């Protein structure tokens, strides 16, 4: 056994010191044109050209001298290479070097921008700078990581978390990226709300925009229009209530009725996961719009004029209910199944009738689930962007108002920021209420003990209406989805109903030439971009999510609750808010990634991270802690334990997180629509663009294709997860060999 | 291949004023001093919540001491995490990795200890042989019985030749018959290889059977330590007397001191036994149920309140002015009926005064 405390080779330390020097001396310091994936710079003046030069060369040429102090921070750790880890000097030097380097990097990054000094007081102190800098590139980012991990190694050497370098570094890493990509943009957005047109800060501006009539007006009681905030709130409450009731009906039918086609009902719940949110809105237009089939049918029947009743509140309500009921169902099925049958059987043996049992035992025990489902529906409705955009008409809601404040003719960042704050306030309140509510009550009745009972059937008086509602709604859902497929093969809806595949041809035509395929369809560009970005984002999302889940379930450290709250926060932040805050925060140095593919990847990672975290936590809490502990006592360190024991046992969770984040990245619209650029256009924003041009055929054909692509992805997952069997400790092992 | 032998690097363990506080004020272990000699099997025994498992986990490095010093061999390991300590542990749940075969499980620790692949494999195979599981190397843990899983867990810990081997209630998931067998196996391996073993249990019979030395813990502190015999025959206080084996605790008067012997009196009945440093006056005496003599002509008056036939013997509950006692009697052919008035005496050896 090697004595770990006295050894003087530190492979991890050497790695990060080397990385720091490489970042400083070899890689271009600033963001190069063409993004991270372009390597033109290698042939184009590197390493002396100012745009491509590494920091060391810049300083050598007497430019960007403010980068020079970083050399001290890079040199410091070289001093401790020969010292032992328990030496207090080792820890102090690393902390000093990391903090100095990281701090200086951030300070200079924020102080000096594309127009010289960013702050007037700096200019007053040092005079005109006469130089400028762009966003961080390879060199700067690698240097920053190097400093960060030098710092965490120093903290670990001081004895934090038993001196565990992996855990301290993971915590440091997660905190840094969450701060950079969640808290920083949100904070930046909050500040934007106070900025006047000429760039000064003013409270008055904030108040004048905040108390705008378009936001809080109550005109709808006198026949005119209400403010967007009230509209959003009212809509969200309605959607929350309706989806919860419908979800409960479905859950009851599946668990407590003699209905035979339960599997088919369950299959409906996969649909919203693979459907871009606004597609339902499109289908509703085909059915109930001005030239919709149902509208026309009734118009001819009664000889009335078709109306535009769908556009506005009713349309959005129907579309969101269709889209989010399955989510409520997924929440409630767990709760309804979780009610221990023996409780209900106990009630029955105590002479309660089926109806009394349901009313006094089953329903009260489902209460937390109902609250949870309502809040989820509420948040989803608040955050939904696609449906209000397609169906909103004159009914303004916050998410679309934010969009028009940024992209419309008014271009008013301050207003967008204030709208986003109001939206954020609503969703965070709901998020907070949910945590408080669920924190106090626990009706979890699923224990490790076998529970042999069966759920009693619903009382007849209840089961008939519940079954009718559930089946009626299921039928409606099926009709809506059928319309989507049908709509994609109709020439021009409502005008020329002949069947055609021309929309698919326009979107996805391919020409075969001698030895190459040419993707001539209009949709291919955005399609491949979407697939690429989603494929890059998925593994990163899963990785960040699982590491975070590992820290939350397996480690204890100071500030863990705040850490958890911070990582789950982005779940409650609507996509539109993320979108606005990202363009406000990331179109100027030090992190200048607007218009690149990176910003899309980053936004997906942090939008979908909570899902990865939840999946990870759920399956990690199933793993007995003694597995990790025995690995540790057998001489593996925490990284080796994570890799050899936890990860292999989490394969199903990893796959689920991968596919889920892939699919979510493909269907997302709300944040994406702010972040796409001509070069990196995503499928969803392309489709929305088609819809705005009234090109429904193409839009629907493209959406249908996306649905089938994602159906394939989900199917593949089911297949893979089905096959990945983990030999759990059971008395009757079924696996003969692996 | 099989000439690889598992040796022992057994080292002593020493706790110096060790405390462990969870959160702000939950004291799990309070200022413990403990010395485990190399090559001995020491049991930590106590009711649940007494701090025995926390003590074990502090040896493993899974919990860090809040204050004090922990030494393994002559090395101060107080601040070392589990990974860096030369200690291995057999868990209550066995904690076999379900996704690895038996051989991979046993080899797991060896791969992190710098053994070459062949060496690790042959050591692992030898370890399996040692616990009598040769030929099971390609099975998954889920395909083994509880007792076999337990032995894999032991082999996995053994092959690392740890300085100290820890057992956390290793028998609690086994059925009663298997327990006796496995505890004898563990004791045999420990003695053959000369291992230092620290063993946690709440079962006093198990502790008496396997230990060189027993440490009885109560309320985060050590109540008494000693050989099984010392603890059984000369408990220090009521708690230890009652926890190790059953004991009837009776109030008595020391009426006469003669050198190392004391004479006690209860309701006129006199008995002479070792003094244990006490002086005349009120005292407490502990008498094992088997050391109560029922039906002697002189003794303390008592009445049979309950009589239970359990096959090998009779069990009686006796009541009297002294309170209530529990007695056993080997005569099952002529049982006493409830209500019988008898006199109850003490056996010559066995009853003991409690100094604490």
Nearest C-alpha neighbor of A229 from the set A429, A490, A40: A429
The angle, 0 to 180 degrees and rounded to 10, between the axes of the packed helices A165-178 and A138-157 is 130
CB contact under 8 A, A162 and B64: yes
Provide the pLDDT for residue A52: 77
Class of domain A519-723: mainly alpha
Which residues on B lie below 8 Å from A558 (Cβ)?
none
Cα(B130)–Cα(B151) distance, rounded to whole angstroms? Answer: 9
pLDDT band at B306 (very low <50, low <70, confident <90, very high): very high
pLDDT digits 0-9 by tens, A85-102:
778 888 888 999 999 999
* Closest approach of B140 to chain A, Cα-based (Å): 7
- In a domain, residue B132? The reply is yes
Residue in the structure block whose two tokens are 């619903």: A458
- In a domain, residue B1? The reply is no
- Cβ(A59)–Cβ(A68) below 8 Å: yes
- In a domain, residue B58? The reply is yes
pLDDT digits 0-9 by tens, A519-553:
777 888 889 989 899 989 988 998 998 899 889 88
Partner A contacted by B123 (CB < 8 A): no
Provide the pLDDT for residue A37: 63
pLDDT digits 0-9 by tens, A164-215:
888 999 999 999 998 999 889 988 888 887 777 666 677 777 777 777 777 7
In angstroms, the Cα distances linking A296 to A247, A293, A488, B91 are 31, 5, 19, 72
Largest Cα span, chain A: 92
Cα(A168)–Cα(B223) distance, rounded to whole angstroms? Answer: 39
Tell whether the model's pLDDT for residue B202 goes beyond 70: yes
A 10 A CB-CB count for A527 gives 23
Partner B contacted by A726 (CB < 8 A): yes
Contact residues, A window 158-187, toward B, CB-based 8 Å cutoff: 159, 162-164
* Closest approach of A651 to chain B, Cα-based (Å): 11
Q: Which residue of A has its CA nearest to B60?
A: A633
Which residues on B lie below 8 Å from A635 (Cβ)?
83, 109, 112-113, 160
Residue in the structure block whose two tokens are 């008939």: A464
CB contact under 8 A, B88 and A634: yes
Which contacts qualify for A351-356: CB closer than 8 Å, 24 or more apart?
Answer: A353/A459, A354/A456, A354/A457, A354/A458, A354/A459, A355/A459, A355/A461, A355/A462
Across the interface, which of A2, A3, A733 has its CB nearest the CB of B143? A733
Which residues on B lie below 8 Å from A638 (Cβ)?
83
Boundary-marking domain end, from B238, B262, B292: B238
Cα(A466)–Cα(A458) distance, rounded to whole angstroms? Answer: 9
Across the interface, which of B84, B138, B160 has its CB nearest the CB of A634? B160
Mean pLDDT (chain A, rounded): 80
Average the pLDDT over A43-64 and give the result: 77
| Mutation site for B-interface testing, chosen from A6, A165, A622, A630 by largest number of B Cβ within 10 Å | A630
pLDDT digits 0-9 by tens, A621-637:
778 888 888 898 888 88
- Cβ(A17)–Cβ(A150) below 8 Å: yes
pLDDT digits 0-9 by tens, A215-232:
777 766 676 677 888 889
pLDDT digits 0-9 by tens, A400-458:
888 888 877 777 778 888 888 888 888 888 878 877 776 555 444 444 344 455 677 77
CB contact under 8 A, B142 and A727: yes
Cα(A511)–Cα(A524) distance, rounded to whole angstroms? Answer: 12
Class of residue B141 by CB neighbours under 10 A (exposed 0-12, middle 13-18, buried 19+): buried
pLDDT band at B216 (very low <50, low <70, confident <90, very high): very high
Class of residue B135 by CB neighbours under 10 A (exposed 0-12, middle 13-18, buried 19+): exposed
Helix and strand totals (H; E) in chain B = 8, 20
pLDDT digits 0-9 by tens, B269-297:
999 999 888 888 899 999 999 899 887 77
Residue A306 in tokens: 């078709």
Exposure on the CB side of residue A498, measured as CA atoms within 13 A: 3
Q: Output b/e per residue, A601-619; b: 16+ Cβ within 10 A.
A: bbbbbbbbbbbbbbbbbeb
Cα(B215)–Cα(B231) distance, rounded to whole angstroms? Answer: 9
Average the pLDDT over B28-36 and give the result: 93
pLDDT band at B37 (very low <50, low <70, confident <90, very high): very high
| Same domain flag for B121 and B57 | yes
CB contact under 8 A, B93 and A624: yes
CB contact under 8 A, B81 and A163: yes
Which residues on A lie below 8 Å from B101 (Cβ)?
738
Q: Which residue of B has its CA nearest to A648?
A: B99
DSSP A489-502: TEEETTTEEEE--H
Q: What is the pTM of this model?
A: 0.80
| Same domain flag for B66 and B150 | yes
| Same domain flag for B276 and B219 | no
Peptide bond into A590 cis (omega under 30): yes
- Cβ(B214)–Cβ(B40) below 8 Å: no
Number of domains composing chain B: 2
Which residues on A lie below 8 Å from B104 (Cβ)?
none
Q: Residue B346: helix, strand or coil by DSSP?
A: strand
Domain of residue B83 covers: 13-238
In angstroms, the Cα distances linking B152 to B100, B119, B172, B190, B300 are 12, 19, 16, 16, 55
The ipTM (two decimal places) reads: 0.79
- Contacts of A439 by beta carbon, 8 Å cutoff, 6+ apart: none
Residue in the structure block whose two tokens are 């291992």: B195
Higher confidence at residue A328 or residue B37?
A: B37
| Same domain flag for B204 and B258 | no
Partner A contacted by B347 (CB < 8 A): no
Residue A189 in tokens: 């957005």
CATH architecture of structural domain A227-443+452-459: Orthogonal Bundle (1.10)
Tell whether the model's pLDDT for residue B17 goes beyond 50: yes
| Same domain flag for B146 and B274 | no
| Same domain flag for B165 and B199 | yes
Cα(A398)–Cα(A416) distance, rounded to whole angstroms? Answer: 9
Provide the pLDDT for residue A189: 85
Cα(B95)–Cα(B301) distance, rounded to whole angstroms? Answer: 55
| Same domain flag for B228 and B281 | no
* Closest approach of B44 to chain A, Cα-based (Å): 19
Tell whether the model's pLDDT for residue A686 goes beyond 70: yes
- Contacts of B100 by beta carbon, 8 Å cutoff, 6+ apart: B108, B140, B141
Across the interface, which of A636, A644, A730 has its CB nearest the CB of B83? A636
CATH number of the domain residue B335 falls in: 2.40.50.140
| Mutation site for A-interface testing, chosen from B65, B82, B165 by largest number of A Cβ within 10 Å | B82
- Cβ(A672)–Cβ(A579) below 8 Å: yes
Exposure on the CB side of residue A575, measured as CA atoms within 13 A: 26
CATH number of the domain residue B69 falls in: 3.40.50.300
* Closest approach of B31 to chain A, Cα-based (Å): 21
CB contact under 8 A, A634 and B140: no
Q: Output b/e per residue, A255-271; b: 16+ Cβ within 10 A.
A: bbbebeeeeebeebbbb
Average the pLDDT over B138-159 and give the result: 90
Which residues on B lie below 8 Å from A159 (Cβ)?
79
Class of residue B7 by CB neighbours under 10 A (exposed 0-12, middle 13-18, buried 19+): exposed
| Same domain flag for B226 and B279 | no
pLDDT digits 0-9 by tens, B68-95:
999 999 899 998 888 888 999 998 888 8
Q: What is the percent of chain A with per-residue pLDDT over 70, rounded to a whole number?
A: 91
- In a domain, residue B2? The reply is no
CB contact under 8 A, B166 and A633: yes
Lowest mean per-residue pLDDT among A118-127, A370-379, A617-626, A648-657: A118-127
Partner B contacted by A730 (CB < 8 A): yes
- Contacts of A449 by beta carbon, 8 Å cutoff, 6+ apart: none
Tell whether the model's pLDDT for residue B251 goes beyond 70: yes
Provide the pLDDT for residue B223: 93
Tell whether the model's pLDDT for residue A729 goes beyond 70: no
Nearest C-alpha neighbor of A637 from the set A166, A9, A169, A6: A166
What number of residues does chain B have? 356
CB contact under 8 A, A163 and B157: no
CB contact under 8 A, B97 and A645: yes
Q: Which residue of A has its CA nearest to B77?
A: A5
Higher confidence at residue B31 or residue A517?
A: B31
| Same domain flag for B330 and B297 | yes
CB contact under 8 A, A629 and B140: no
Provide the pLDDT for residue A446: 42
Cα(B228)–Cα(B187) distance, rounded to whole angstroms? Answer: 15
Partner A contacted by B215 (CB < 8 A): no
Q: Which residue of B has its CA nearest to A651?
A: B99
Residue A508 in tokens: 């996805």
CB contact under 8 A, B83 and A163: no
| Mutation site for B-interface testing, chosen from A84, A622, A635 by largest number of B Cβ within 10 Å | A635
DSSP B127-180: HHHHTT-TT-TTS-GGGS-HHHHHHHHHHHHHTT--SEEEEESTTTTS-HHHHH
Q: Which residue of B has its CA nearest to A162?
A: B81
| Same domain flag for B339 and B258 | yes
Residue A618 in tokens: 């759920």
CB contact under 8 A, B62 and A629: yes
Residue A637 in tokens: 């360190």
Across the interface, which of B87, B92, B99 has its CB nearest the CB of A726? B99
Which residues on A lie below 8 Å from B112 (Cβ)?
634-637, 640
Q: Quick one: CA dihedral A360, A362, A365, A368, positive or negative?
A: negative
Partner B contacted by A448 (CB < 8 A): no
- Cβ(A455)–Cβ(A345) below 8 Å: no
Q: Quick one: CA dihedral A480, A481, A486, A491, positive or negative?
A: positive
Q: Give first-to-last CA distance, chain B, whole Å.
A: 57
pLDDT band at B156 (very low <50, low <70, confident <90, very high): very high
pLDDT digits 0-9 by tens, A245-269:
999 988 888 887 777 777 777 777 7
- Contacts of A211 by beta carbon, 8 Å cutoff, 6+ apart: none
Backbone angles phi, psi at A514, to 5 degrees: -40, -65
pLDDT band at A161 (very low <50, low <70, confident <90, very high): confident
Pinpoint the alpha helices (H) of A350-491.
354-357, 363-365, 367-383, 386-391, 398-407, 413-440, 460-487
Lowest mean per-residue pLDDT among A111-120, A233-242, A396-405: A111-120
Backbone angles phi, psi at B247, to 5 degrees: -140, 140
pLDDT band at A148 (very low <50, low <70, confident <90, very high): very high
Sheet (strand B314-320) strand order: B292-294, B341-346, B300-309, B314-320, B323-329
Which residues on A lie below 8 Å from B95 (Cβ)?
624, 626-627, 629-630
Provide the pLDDT for residue B155: 92
Write out the H or E segment, with its range, that includes residue B205. Answer: helix B204-210
Q: Residue ranges per domain, chain A?
A: 11-158, 227-443+452-459, 519-723
Average the pLDDT over B216-236 and give the result: 92
Residue in the structure block whose two tokens are 């969770």: A653
Cα(A359)–Cα(A356) distance, rounded to whole angstroms? Answer: 5
- In a domain, residue B5? The reply is no
In angstroms, the Cα distances linking B319 to A207, B204, B281, B296, B326 are 85, 27, 24, 16, 9
Residue in the structure block whose two tokens are 């009779």: B314
| Same domain flag for B111 and B129 | yes
Boundary-marking domain end, from B238, B270, B286: B238
Q: Which residue of B has its CA nearest to A637?
A: B83
Which residues on B lie below 8 Å from A728 (Cβ)?
98, 142
Mean pLDDT (chain B, rounded): 90
In angstroms, the Cα distances linking B260 to A315, B256, B272, B277, B355 are 99, 11, 10, 8, 14
| Same domain flag for B229 and B282 | no
Size of interface A-B (CB pairs under 8 A): 105
Partner A contacted by B91 (CB < 8 A): yes
* Closest approach of A163 to chain B, Cα-based (Å): 8
| Mutation site for B-interface testing, chosen from A624, A634, A736 by largest number of B Cβ within 10 Å | A634
Q: Do domains A227-443+452-459 and A519-723 have the same CATH topology?
A: yes
pLDDT digits 0-9 by tens, B101-125:
999 999 998 888 888 899 999 999 9
Contact residues, A window 585-604, toward B, CB-based 8 Å cutoff: none
CB contact under 8 A, B96 and A649: no
Provide the pLDDT for residue B221: 93
Q: Strands B352-353, B281-287: parallel, antiparallel or unpaired by DSSP?
A: antiparallel
């Amino acid at each position: 056994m090697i004595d770990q405390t006295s050894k003087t080779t530190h492979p991890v330390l050497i790695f990060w010191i080397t990385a720091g020097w490489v970042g400083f001396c070899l890689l271009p310091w600033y963001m190069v044109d063409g993004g991270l994936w372009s390597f033109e710079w290698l042939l184009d003046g590197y390493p002396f050209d100012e745009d491509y030069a590494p920091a060391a060369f810049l300083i050598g040429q007497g430019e960007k001298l403010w980068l020079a102090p970083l050399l001290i921070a890079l040199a410091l750790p070289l001093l401790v290479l020969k010292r032992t880890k328990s030496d207090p000097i080792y820890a102090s030097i690393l902390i000093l070097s990391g903090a100095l380097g990281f701090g200086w990097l951030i300070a200079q990054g924020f102080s000096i921008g594309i127009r010289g000094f960013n702050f007037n007081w700096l200019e007053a102190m040092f005079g005109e700078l006469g130089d400028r800098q762009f966003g961080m590139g390879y060199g700067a980012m690698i240097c920053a990581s190097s400093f960060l991990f030098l710092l965490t190694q120093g903290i670990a050497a001081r004895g934090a978390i038993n001196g565990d370098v992996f855990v301290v570094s993971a915590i440091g890493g997660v905190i840094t990226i969450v701060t950079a990509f969640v808290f920083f943009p949100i904070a930046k957005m909050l500040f934007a709300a106070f900025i006047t047109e000429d760039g000064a800060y003013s409270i008055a501006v904030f108040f004048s925009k905040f108390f705008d009539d378009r936001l809080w007006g109550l005109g709808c009681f006198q026949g005119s229009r209400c403010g967007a905030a009230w509209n959003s709130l009212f809509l969200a409450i309605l959607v929350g209530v309706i989806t919860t009731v419908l979800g409960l009906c479905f859950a009851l039918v599946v668990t407590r009725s003699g209905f035979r086609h339960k599997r088919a009902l369950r299959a409906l719940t996969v649909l919203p996961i693979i459907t871009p949110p606004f597609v339902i809105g499109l289908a509703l237009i085909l059915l109930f719009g001005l030239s919709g089939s149902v509208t026309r049918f009734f118009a001819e029947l009664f000889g009335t004029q078709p109306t535009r009743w769908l556009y506005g509140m009713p349309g959005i309500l129907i579309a969101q209910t269709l889209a989010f009921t399955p989510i409520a169902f997924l929440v409630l099925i767990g709760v309804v199944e979780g009610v221990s049958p023996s409780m209900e059987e106990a009630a029955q043996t105590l002479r309660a009738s089926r109806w009394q049992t349901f009313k006094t035992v089953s329903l009260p025990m489902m209460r937390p689930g109902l609250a949870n489902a309502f809040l989820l529906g509420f948040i989803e409705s608040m955050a939904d962007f696609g449906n209000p955009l397609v169906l909103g008409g004159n009914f303004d809601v916050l998410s679309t108002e934010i969009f028009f404040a940024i992209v419309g003719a008014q271009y008013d960042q301050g207003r967008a920021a204030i709208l986003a704050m109001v939206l954020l306030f609503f969703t965070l309140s709901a998020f907070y209420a949910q945590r408080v509510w669920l924190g106090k009550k626990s009706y979890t009745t699923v224990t490790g003990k076998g529970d042999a009972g069966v759920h009693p059937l619903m009382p007849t008086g209840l089961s008939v209406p519940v079954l009718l509602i559930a089946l009626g709604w299921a039928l409606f859902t099926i009709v809506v989805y059928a319309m989507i497929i049908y709509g994609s093969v109709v020439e021009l809806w409502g005008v020329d109903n002949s069947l055609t595949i021309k929309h698919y041809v326009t979107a996805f035509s391919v020409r075969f030439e001698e030895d190459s395929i040419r993707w001539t369809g209009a949709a291919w560009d955005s399609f491949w971009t979407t697939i690429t970005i989603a494929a890059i984002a998925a593994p990163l999302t899963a990785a960040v999510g699982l590491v975070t889940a590992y820290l939350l379930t397996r480690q204890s450290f100071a500030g863990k609750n705040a850490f958890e709250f911070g990582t789950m926060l982005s779940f409650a932040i609507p996509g539109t808010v993320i979108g606005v805050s990202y363009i406000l925060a990331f179109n100027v140095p030090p992190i200048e990634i607007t218009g690149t593919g990176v910003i899309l990847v980053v936004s997906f990672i942090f939008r979908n991270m909570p899902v990865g975290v939840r999946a990870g936590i759920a399956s990690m809490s199933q793993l007995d802690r003694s597995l990790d502990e025995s690995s540790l006592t057998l001489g593996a360190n925490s990284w080796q334990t994570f890799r050899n024991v936890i990860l292999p046992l989490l394969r199903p969770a990893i796959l689920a997180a991968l596919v889920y984040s892939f699919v979510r990245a493909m269907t997302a619209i709300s944040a994406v629509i702010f972040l796409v650029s001509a070069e990196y256009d995503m499928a969803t924003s392309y489709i929305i663009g088609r819809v705005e041009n009234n090109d429904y055929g193409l839009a629907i054909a493209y959406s249908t294709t996306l649905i089938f692509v994602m159906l394939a992805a989900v199917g593949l997952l089911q297949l893979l997860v089905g096959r990945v069997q983990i030999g759990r400790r059971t008395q009757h092992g079924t696996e003969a060999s692996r | 291949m099989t000439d690889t032998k598992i040796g022992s690097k057994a080292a002593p363990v020493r706790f110096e004023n060790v405390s462990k506080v969870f959160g702000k004020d939950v004291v799990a272990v309070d200022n413990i001093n403990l010395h485990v000699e190399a090559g001995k099997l020491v049991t930590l025994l106590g009711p649940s919540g007494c701090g025995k498992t926390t003590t074990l986990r502090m040896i493993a490095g899974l919990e860090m001491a809040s204050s004090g010093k922990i030494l393994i061999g002559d090395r101060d390991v107080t601040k070392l995490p589990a990974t860096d300590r030369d200690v291995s542990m057999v868990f209550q749940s066995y904690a076999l990795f379900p996704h690895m075969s038996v051989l991979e499980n046993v080899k797991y620790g060896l791969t992190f200890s710098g053994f070459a692949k062949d060496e690790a494999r042959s050591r692992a195979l030898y370890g399996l042989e040692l616990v009598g599981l040769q030929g099971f190397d390609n099975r998954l843990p889920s395909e083994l019985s509880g007792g076999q899983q337990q032995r894999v867990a032991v082999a996995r810990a053994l092959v690392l030749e740890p300085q100290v081997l820890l057992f956390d209630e290793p028998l609690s998931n086994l059925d009663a018959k298997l327990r006796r067998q496995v505890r004898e196996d563990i004791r045999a391996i420990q003695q053959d290889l000369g291992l230092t073993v620290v063993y946690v249990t709440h079962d006093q019979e198990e502790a008496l059977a396997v230990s060189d030395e027993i440490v009885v813990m109560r309320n985060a502190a050590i109540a008494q330590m000693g050989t099984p015999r010392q603890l059984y025959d000369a408990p220090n206080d009521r708690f230890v007397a009652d926890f190790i084996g059953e004991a009837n605790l009776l109030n008595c008067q020391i009426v006469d001191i003669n050198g190392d012997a004391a004479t006690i009196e209860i309701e006129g009945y006199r008995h002479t036994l070792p003094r244990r440093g006490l002086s005349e006056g009120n005292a407490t005496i502990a008498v094992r149920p088997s050391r109560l003599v029922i039906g002697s002509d002189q003794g303390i008056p008592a009445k049979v309140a309950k009589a239970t036939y359990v096959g090998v013997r009779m069990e009686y509950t006796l009541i009297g002015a002294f309170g209530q006692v529990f007695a056993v009697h080997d005569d099952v052919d002529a049982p006493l009926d409830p209500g019988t008035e008898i006199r109850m005496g003490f056996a010559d050896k066995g009853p003991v005064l409690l100094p604490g």
